[in-house]
Amino acid sequence: MNRIFLIGNLTRDPELTQTATGIAVCRFSLAVSRDYKSESGEKITDFFDCTAWRGLAETVAKYCRKGMKMAVEGSVGLRNYEDKNGVKRLAVDVTVSDVEFLSSKTDMDKIDPEYEATHQVPRKPAGNSQYGNYGNKQSGNSYSRQRPNYGNNGNGGADPDIPF
């Protein structure tokens, strides 16, 4: 199983592009602090290059900004390359399958006071939608895949088409 879960801060604004066939691609970098320090007492931080595709790419590009804290779920890929000095290097790439924004509006205002004016601020949906509240945390800023609320069809939860 190839799964990775990261929580960190964006090191730059996400870059949204499209493939030749029109598929949205968003690239960003996440700084993730380790829970221990080096021998000299310095904090150790790892940097991960992340790529989101399609609708998720558009969502990340629309709502995220440098410095924002976010959780990322995805799969890891390794890539060998040669740098400009001819040294062989290994890069770790994360293909993102899900994100959750962890910075509050107040946090974003501290990072960039013009944030709300330049970005649409996500709002929690009012009441029960047909999809229930799956994936919507208390902060209302989760963009997880949503599942239907099968038991809430307006007649007390009973569905006449289900025989049990």
Whether the per-residue pLDDT at 124 is higher than 50: the answer is no
What is the per-residue DSSP string for 4-57?
EEEEEEESS--EEEE-TT--EEEEEEEEEEEEEE-TTSPEEEEEEEEEEEHHHH
Buried b (16+ CB within 10 A) or exposed e, 78-100: eeeeeeeeeeeeeeeebebebbb
Per-residue pLDDT band for 120 (boundaries 50, 70, 90) equals low
Contact predicate 70/50, CB 8 Å = no
- The vertex-79 CA angle with 75 and 83, nearest 5°, equals 140
Q: Tell me the C-alpha to C-alpha distance, in Å, between residue 157 and each of 104, 141, 146, 153, 164.
A: 34, 27, 19, 6, 12
- The vertex-136 CA angle with 133 and 137, nearest 5°, equals 120
Task: List pLDDT tens digits, range 16-71.
Answer: 999 999 999 999 999 999 988 888 888 999 999 999 999 999 999 998 999 999 99
Q: For residues 26 and 63, what is the distance between their CA atoms, to the nearest angstrom?
A: 12
**pLDDT value of position 47:** 92
Task: List pLDDT tens digits, range 2-18.
Answer: 999 999 999 999 999 99
